[in-house]
Amino acid sequence: MRERDDELLTVVQVMARLKLGRSKVYDLIRTRRLRSVTIGRCRRIPASAIGEFIAGQMERAA
């Protein structure tokens, strides 16, 4: 199933998709390696940010 580019994901959803723990996801957000927005007290990550993060990791590995 293809994600919509404007879809906002929760930290838990990002954890599942990247197979990472909560602390690591928040660390990526804190260090601005993973874009996110805050809406009220909720942290949301645009679905497109996951693709950008993975592409950046692939470039660094090459």
Distance CA 45, CA 7 (A): 8
- Is the distance from CB of 27 to CB of 15 less than 8 angstroms? no
pLDDT tens digits for range 11-37:
999 999 999 999 999 999 999 999 999
Tell the residue number behind the tokens 């940010």, with chain if given: 49
**Is 4 strand, coil or helix?**
coil
**pLDDT given at position 1:** 45
Predicted TM-score (pTM) of this structure: 0.85
How far is it, in rounded angstroms, from Cα 58 to Cα 7? 23
**3 state DSSP class of 24:** helix
What is the pLDDT confidence band of residue 62, given thresholds at 50, 70 and 90? confident
Whether residue 40 is predicted with pLDDT greater than 70 in this model: the reply is yes
Q: How far apart are CA 62 and CA 2, in angstroms?
A: 26
